[in-house]
Structure 1
Amino acid sequence: FYELDGEWYHEICRNAIKRGGQRGEHLRANIDRANVHKFRQFRYIRFLNKRAKKRLNTKLFKVQPYPKPQTVKTGLKESE
């Protein structure tokens, strides 16, 4: 994500010229002033069919507990 003049922009605004619109044009014109923000992304799967969990490809996915807020590293200093 990008932050520019108090407005937030998704990365697609910078890359997709046709879909970016006026906001995308403003971001591309002032990209040197924009602050870049990187966030961690978690993807959760809830199985509606309980038997489907057994067929999960464990080579690509492994079952993990939901991350707790105190265990997630945000990259911020303690003073912030």
Structure 2
Amino acid sequence: MARDPDTIQREIEQARDALASTLDQLGTKANPKKLVTEAKAGAASTLNSPKVKYPLIGVGALILLLLIRKLFR
């Protein structure tokens, strides 16, 4: 059974609109500036976590003490 050309045209237009919408969404998700901003925010929140922040401070203090010790020997 043959389909009506107007129905086929409407289906093509709907498919085209859906594809355009999908491409817009992908473009928004893959925006490099957005990805960098999200990565910076994630790194900042990780470094501000007490489980990471205090051990890093301790390691930094230990390295500083070792450098001072080496300089004055």
Pairwise TM-score range, normalised by the shorter structure: under 0.3
* Structure with greater strand percent: 1
**Higher relative contact order by CA 8 Å / sep ≥ 6: 1 or 2?**
1
The structure having more radius of gyration, on CA atoms, is 2
TM-score (norm 1): 0.19
* Structure with greater helix percent: 2
TM-score (norm 2): 0.20
